Structures are given as C-alpha cells and as structure tokens.
Amino acid sequence: MIKMFVSRVSGTQRGSHDVIPLWRRGLLTLVLLLAATAAMATPASLVLNDENGKYFTGGHLEFLEDASSALSLADVRNAVYASRFQSVDKPTPSFGFTSSSMWFRFKLENRSATFKDWLLEVQYPPLDHVDVYLIAPDGSYELMRGGDRLPFDARAVKQRNINFRLHVPHGDSRDVYIRVRTDSSLQLPLVLWNVPAYLEAKEVEQHLMGLYYGISIGLLVFNLILFLSTRDKPYFYYVYYLLTYFLFQATLHGLTYEYLWPDAPGWANTALPIFMACGTIGVTEFTRSFLDVGKSFPRLNRVFTALLIVALATAAAAFIAPYSLMIRLGTLEAIVACMTAFATGLYAVVKGIKQARYFMIAWSVFLIGSILYSLKTFSVLPPVFVTEYGQQIGSALEVILLSMALADRLRILKEENERIQRQATTLLEARVQERTSELDIALQKLAEANETLRELNLTDPLTGIKNRTFFNERYAEEWRRAVRQKYPIALIMVDIDHFKSINDRYGHLCGDACIRTVAKVLQDSLRRPSDHAARYGGEEFCLILPHSDPYGVAELAEDVRRHVQDREVVFGSERLKLTVSAGVAIMLPGQEEDPDTLIADADAALYEAKRLGRNRVEIHARYKLLTMCNDERSVQALY
C-alpha cells in the first residue's frame, strides 16, 4: 500500500512538473513506515466478557508525563500530545517519586451480556489525586475523582483501595483516561472487576488482613504482658516497635484511613511518615537494649544515638514539612536503621554474644522484605506481590523470631544467674561442708522420726492395723477418687458380738486378745492393695473396698464372719469362740452425695444384723437387690 501511495503521488507529480527528487520519495516512504509502526505498536483494546471477572490493565496501558501538571483532557487528546503517549513496558507502571503528573489511557470494549457496571481498582492506596475520565464514542465523558486527599465516602465502594465504577453498555466501547498526581511514590496497579468477582476477592482479602493484624495484635498484647511481668526494657521497646510498625503497615495499605480516620484525609497522609519515623525509633532502641549496645559496643552506641535524634526530628517535622520530602527521608532512615541493626547483630554474633543468634535471623528475614519494598518504592524493582508485601511477609516471620529471641535472651540470663549462684553455692558448701553434713544427718533422722510418728499416729497400737484417723483420711480420698472416676465404693462395718460380756467375764486382757484375733482375720481377708481395714472404735472395725461389685462385697463380709466363727481365741487356760456381725453398704457416689451417707448405711446394716440375732451379715435395704445380681453386666446396668 505504501508503494502504491508513493507511485500515485509520483505519477501526479510527473503530470505537472518533473519527476519527484529521489530524496523526497525516500523521506515520504520513511514517514509512512514510521506511521505504520506506530499504529502497529498501539496497545489492543481491553475486551470484557462474561468468562472472566478480573482483568489486569498493564498490557493495554499507555502513559504520558506532564512535567508542568498543566495539561487538560482536551490537551492530551489533541493530536500533538496524543502521539506522545508511550506503551507501558511493565505489568504495573511505576515512576518512583516524581513531581510530574502522569496521564494514562486505555480502551475498553464490553462484550459481556451480563455486566454493564465494572469496578476499576487502584491497588496502591497512598496516591493523592486520581482523576478518571470515561469517554463515550460521541466525545462526551464522565469525570470521577479519587485519591487519599479526598474524603473516604467519595469512593464508589467503601474499601481501602481507591476505586471507580465504570458504566459500559453491552457492545459499546469507551476510552479511559487517568490523571495521577501525588507526593508519594507514583505507581498505578490497575485491576478491572465485575462486581461479584470484586466482592468475592475482597472478602477473602479482608479475612487474610484480619488474620495478619489479629495475630499481630495478639503478639503485641502478649509481649506487653511479658513486659509488665518482667519489667525488662527490651520487651517495652519491642512492644513500642510492633505498635508503630503495624500502624505504619495499616496506614500504607489504607486500613487506618478506612477504619480509624476516614474523615481526615490530611492526617491520613501525614500519619505515614510519622509512623515510619516512630518505627525507626523502635528499631533503634530495641536493638540497643536487646544487645546491650551501650555496654558491649560503646562506639556503635553513638550511631544509634544519632539515628534516634534524626528519627525524632523527622517525626516532629512531618507535621509541617512537605509529605514528599518526609516520606523520602523516612524511607531512607528506615533503610539505614535496619542496616545498622543488621550490622550490629552480625558483629554481636562474631563477638560470641549468644542472644544475637535469633536476633540476626529475625532481622535478616525482615531486612530482605524491607529492602525489596524500598527498592520497589524507588522504582528499582517492579511492584509485584513479593515487593509490595515484602515488609508484611518479613515482619510476620520477624515477629515470631524476635519473640523467640527475647525468650532465648531470658533463658541465657537465667542460665547465667544460675551459673553464678552455683559458683556461690559451691564456695559456701566448701566452707560449711561439715556443718551441712551434720545438718543433713539430723534432718534425715528428723524425717525418719516424723515418718515413724506419722505411722504410729495412723496405726492402732493394740491390733497393729490402721486406726480411726487413717480411716477418716483414706475414706475421704477414696470417696473423691470414686466421684472423679465414677466407680462404686463399699464399706463393711464389723462388730464383735457380746463383747461387753466377754470383758466382764474374762477381763480386759482377754477382750484385747479377742480384738487382736478379729483384726488379724480382717487383715488377712484383704485381697487387693486398694482395700484397707481399720479399727473404727472399741470392738468395731471397718473395711474400705473401692471399685468393688456388690456380690463380691457381700461374699467377703460372709467370709470374715465365717473365719471368725471358726477360730478359737486362746487366753491362758480359756478357749473362747467368737462371732461377729457385719453391715454392708455400697454406693456409686456423685458430686451431690454426702460421704457420711455410706457410713450411716453400713452402720445401720450392722445394727440390723445385731437386731436379727447377731453372727450374721446384713446388707442395707437400699443395696440388698444388688447382691442378687451375680452377673457383672446386670450390676453395671443397676448403675
């Protein structure tokens, strides 16, 4: 076509003058080639359809720098400026800190039969002014303004990122022009959504943000509690650093503007460099206190003092100084502070300071994330996920690792204190070894005497079995255990029949022999370590039988009665036959049950046996049915 056009022009010229000079033909051909190349380089339209709910605009964008910030929409659409637009060669346009305004344009074509309204989202909240022009084919346009210099309610959707609603009817196309002017780093990560896809994505994003900041706040509170309990300065500076750093992160990502001060756009801008400077103060003071820089590295301590002074000055100046200057200075200070903390930690590791190990690992992770983010801010690296969220990823790991570092530091200090105490103890022991040895012997004898005294206190001197004191203590313990573990406990009350008559006829010594005989039978009848026999009082005894079935308890009581009946008591020339009466009670105790109930039931059963003629075993009426159930499953069913 170019050759045909040249030929036609050449033919026309031959008709009126002479042949066109060769150099003019060459120049005309070059101009036409450049025009064709420019037309071929124009980005394709962004086609919207029903299949996709999310579109990245990077490959469809062109940009124009407006150094004077004086161009209007009509100016940039004029042929003179329209031809100066350049294609964006990155997924996301990024220009670092610039005083120029930037114009962007792309073309939309809506082939979606479902969606006419789309949301254009700017995924970088700190931009000051973002003006979007939606131009119809007839030349009319709709102007929408956004940015963090405008009230939060001005946004199409009340969300942390700047966003605009674009109305494009089915089958229509629109030219979109965007003008951006900001004192912050200028980058324009644009994403176009249909409404359902946008809402779904933002719900997931909100959950992730909530998880990140929820964990952060939890760790902050945890370390604050540790500071209040230990009064250790590093914990205080760490809590301060966490607070300011997470406020900086929340401000950078538009969360504080959304939730804390949506009606204060001026403060939303001022807060970012202030929180950044305060974070630098936290880094400086935490590192200085954690590594004890003033004592271990006096020269480096001067560097930390200088950083602290500069950061304090920056935080104060941010209230009145230009934002563009303060954000650059704050970013530079943060880089220097992180590098200084890293270098100090490395130097401490080389010097053999133990608590510097976790510290170095934590700051290595965070430093990598911070460097990636800072290089993105200065347009050295593109604003991709790793660079955009580098500080958040690094900080999440850093918080955990620094908490471990603080715990490790306390452990090291504890071990050091213990080592000093051990040395002092060794020296003291060397001086008083003999006295200590004598004291140990005396204490051992005292312990043995106490144990013997306790055993005597719990043992009946006449029979050698346990006494009433032991019964009271052990019964209370077994009752509580039975309630807790939900198993039955049984008591057998045993009383010597006609004991008063024996005493009156044969004397108390003979009565004592009878008591010893019955005690021996009871002691020999115990089948398990958990069973206990005790002299309850006078000629009365009691057996504690935890975890017993009703039939077995009744059988044991009958065995005791029979063995006593079959045994003779030899006292001098006298040979006596004894009988006993026994009362049985068993219960599955509950929380509301009174332990005395079981004792009273066993005692009542004993007196019933006495009333019915003695030399017999009687089971309390409420438990009598249980003894008729020799099948274990039947017994369990009763409970």
Q: How far is CA 359 from CA 303, 397, 402, in A?
A: 19, 12, 6
Q: Supply the pLDDT for residue 365.
A: 81
Tell me how far apart the alpha carbons of residues 351 and 354 are, in angstroms, rounded to a whole number: 9
Q: Is residue 425 in a domain?
A: no
Total tally of structural domains belonging to the chain: 4
Same domain? 395 vs 297:
yes
* Residues designated as active site: 539
Token duo for residue 449: 């005497």
Does residue 562 have a pLDDT over 80?
A: yes
Q: What's the rounded mean pLDDT across residues 434-451?
A: 77
The answer to whether 584 touches 602, Cβ cutoff 8 Å, is yes
Residue 572 in any domain: the answer is yes
Specify the length of the chain in residues.
Answer: 639
- Asked if 553 and 590 sit in the same domain, the reply is yes
Mention every residue, 6+ apart, whose C-beta is less than 8 A from residue 72.
Answer: none
Asked if residue 589 is part of any domain, the answer here is yes
In a shared domain, residues 260 and 344 = yes
DSSP 466: B
Q: Count other Cβ atoms within 10 Å, centred on residue 5.
A: 12
When the pLDDT of each residue in the chain is averaged and rounded to a whole number, the result is: 83
Claim to verify: residue 16 and residue 85 sit in the same structural domain: no
In this structure, is residue 306 part of a structural domain?
A: yes
Q: Which of 426, 440, 373 is nearest to 187 (CA)?
A: 373
- pLDDT of residue 633 exceeding 70, the answer is no
* pLDDT tens by residue, 445-489: 887 777 777 777 888 888 888 999 999 999 999 999 999 999 999
- CATH code of the domain in which 60 resides: 2.60.40.2380
Does any domain span residue 21?
A: yes
592 or 147, which is more confident:
147
| Amino acid present at 499 | F
Q: What element of type H or E holds 407?
A: helix 390-431
Q: Which two tokens stand for residue 420?
A: 């000093």
Greatest CA separation found in the chain? Answer: 170
CB atoms within 10 A of CB 374: 19
What single string gives the DSSP state of each residue in 271-310?
HHHHHHHHHHHHHHHHHHHHTTHHHH-HHHHHHHHHHHHH
Q: How many CB atoms lie within 10 A of CB 147?
A: 21
Strand partners, 174: 108
- 243: Cβ–Cβ under 8 A, 6 or more apart, which residues? 220, 282
pLDDT grade for 42, boundaries at 50, 70 and 90: low
Of residues 32 and 393, which shows the higher confidence score? Answer: 393
Provide, rounded to the nearest whole percent, the portion of the chain with pLDDT above 90. 34
Q: Read off the pLDDT band of 24 (50, 70, 90).
A: low
pLDDT at 75 over 80: yes
Better-predicted residue by pLDDT, 42 or 288: 288
- Is 156 found in the same domain as 106? yes
In this prediction, residue 388 carries a pLDDT of 64
DSSP per residue over 2-47, as a string?
A: HHHHHHHHHHHHHHHSSPPPHHHHHHHHHHHHHHHHHHHHSPPPEE
pLDDT at 632: 42
Identify whether residues 353 and 485 lie together within a single domain.
no
Q: Show the domain range for 548.
A: 462-638
Predicted confidence at residue 27, as pLDDT, reads 59
Q: Which of 409, 444, 471 is the last residue of a domain?
A: 409
Does 499 lie in the same domain as 566?
yes
Strands 86-87 and 532-537, by their bridges, are: unpaired
pLDDT at 432 over 80: no
On whether residue 177 sits in a domain, the answer given is yes
Co-location of 307 and 170 in the same domain: no
Q: For residue range 358-413, list pLDDT tens digits in order.
A: 788 887 787 788 778 767 655 577 767 677 667 677 777 777 777 777 777 677 76
What share of the chain has pLDDT > 70, as a percent? 88
Question: In DSSP terms, which residues pair with 446 in a beta bridge?
Answer: none
User: Does the residue 431 lie in any domain?
Assistant: no
Beta-sheet pairing, 617-619 with 101-110: unpaired
Q: Are residues 466 and 600 in the same domain?
A: yes
Give the C-alpha separation, 576 to 569, whole Å.
Answer: 5
For residues 379, 385, 388, 390, the Cα torsion angle rounded to the nearest 10 degrees is: -110
* Residues 273 and 339 reside in one and the same domain: yes
Could you tell me if residue 396 is inside a domain? yes
- pLDDT tens, 164-212? 999 999 989 999 999 999 988 898 989 999 989 998 888 888 887 888 7
Question: Are residues 504 and 612 part of one domain?
Answer: yes
Better pLDDT: 614 or 404:
614
Specify the CATH number for the domain of residue 606: 3.30.70.270
pLDDT at 10: 39
* Residue 23 pLDDT grade (very low, low, confident, very high; cuts 50, 70, 90): low
Please say whether the beta carbons of 148 and 125 come within 8 A.
Answer: yes
pLDDT tier for residue 113 given thresholds of 50, 70 and 90: confident
Residues 483 and 601 in one domain: yes
Enumerate helices (H) and strands (E) in the chain, giving the number of each.
21, 20
Give the number of other CB atoms < 10 A from CB of residue 273. Answer: 28
Between CA 259 and CA 146 the distance in angstroms is: 18
Band (626; pLDDT cuts 50, 70, 90): low
